[in-house]
Amino acid sequence: MSAIGLEPWLQHLLDHLPIAREGRDPEGVHQVRVAVRRLRVWLRLAGMRVLQDDLAWLVRAAGEVRDLEVLLQYPNLPKAFRTWAEHRLKQARTVFVPLLDSPRLAGLLRALSILPPLDKKLAEFRLARFVRQVERRAQEWHSENSLEHLHALRRALRRLRYAQEWLEQDSHTVKTLQEIFGQVGDLSFTLNYLAAFEAEGGQVSMRYRKQLEASLADALETAKQAWRQKAQL
């Protein structure tokens, strides 16, 4: 009976936690989130609900830090907006970093380290659930045509991609779609942070806001075209 252990991505998580704690390289927090999300998919393929809440907690805890690190990598951010984002990132890290030394995380890592490997045949059977979830999210997006539903579809695509990769299946099409949809996500959260900055009295030029909105509209159209043409990707 063929089996799939979680050790490669558990080790990836362990390797990147110190980098995330240090904070000098944005890849630290990013790779922590990638590893955790892949481990959550492994648990779903194994049919295990155990530890899902703890893994979700770690992803959420790192969320604002990662978003702001991505935002600060953008070229041509208005100076005042960049300064505001840098300050907010420092605040987010003061909340996030202590969690990396918490008993909850230590217990989570220990629990993950003793899980048995998953049965590949059963995991292949469960893969259909990931496909059905993508189909449901796509129908909801088609019906509602909202950013919220697009983001839900993007997350479902990411889970399907990771499931395919755990099972050593071709994930090229799903990965391409996920990356295209990710451009929409990045621009969307940038506009959300810009709105928060302005709500606190910050100002940027109308031209800058219009450029972001136009880029988001273009990214949305690209996502729609990619979804229509997905069989050709």
Give residue-wise pLDDT tens across range 57-86.
999 999 999 999 999 998 889 999 999 999
Residues 100 and 156 in one domain: no
- Rounded Cα–Cα distance for residues 210 and 5 (Å): 48
Domain boundary among 83, 116, 149: 116
Residue whose token pair is 């496909």: 131
Count structural domains, the chain: 2
Residue whose token pair is 């659930």: 129
Residues 131 and 147 in one domain: yes
Q: What φ, ψ does residue 203 adopt, rounded to 5°?
A: -135, 140
The chain-wide mean pLDDT, for the chain, equals 95
Residues 25 and 104 in one domain: yes
Three-state secondary-structure class, residue 21: helix
Residues 48 and 100 in one domain: yes
The pTM for the full model equals 0.94
- Rounded Cα–Cα distance for residues 81 and 68 (Å): 11
Domain boundary among 73, 97, 116: 116
Spans of the chain below 70 pLDDT? 1, 231-233
Residues 50 and 129 in one domain: no
Torsion of CA 232, 134, 213, 172, to 10 degrees: -40
Pairing of strands 3-4, 118-119: antiparallel
pLDDT digits (tens, 9 = 90+) for 178-187: 999 999 999 9
Residues 153 and 228 in one domain: yes
Q: What is the pLDDT of residue 191?
A: 96
Structural tokens at position 13: 């998580």
Look up the CATH number of the domain holding residue 55.
Answer: 1.40.20.10
Nearest to 159 by CA among 141, 183, 137: 137
Residues 222 and 130 in one domain: yes
Nearest to 190 by CA among 97, 25, 83, 73: 73
Residues 231 and 134 in one domain: yes
Residues 148 and 98 in one domain: no
Residue type present at position 12? H
Torsion of CA 153, 158, 159, 162, to 10 degrees: 160
Q: What is the pLDDT of residue 75?
A: 85
Residues 196 and 112 in one domain: no
- Rounded Cα–Cα distance for residues 92 and 62 (Å): 9
Q: In angstroms, how far is the first alpha carbon of the chain from the final one?
A: 34
Q: What is the pLDDT of residue 230?
A: 84
Q: Which domain holds residue 107?
A: 1-116
Cβ neighbour number for residue 45 with a 10 Å cutoff: 25
Residue whose token pair is 């059905």: 132
Domain boundary among 81, 116, 151: 116
Residues 109 and 172 in one domain: no
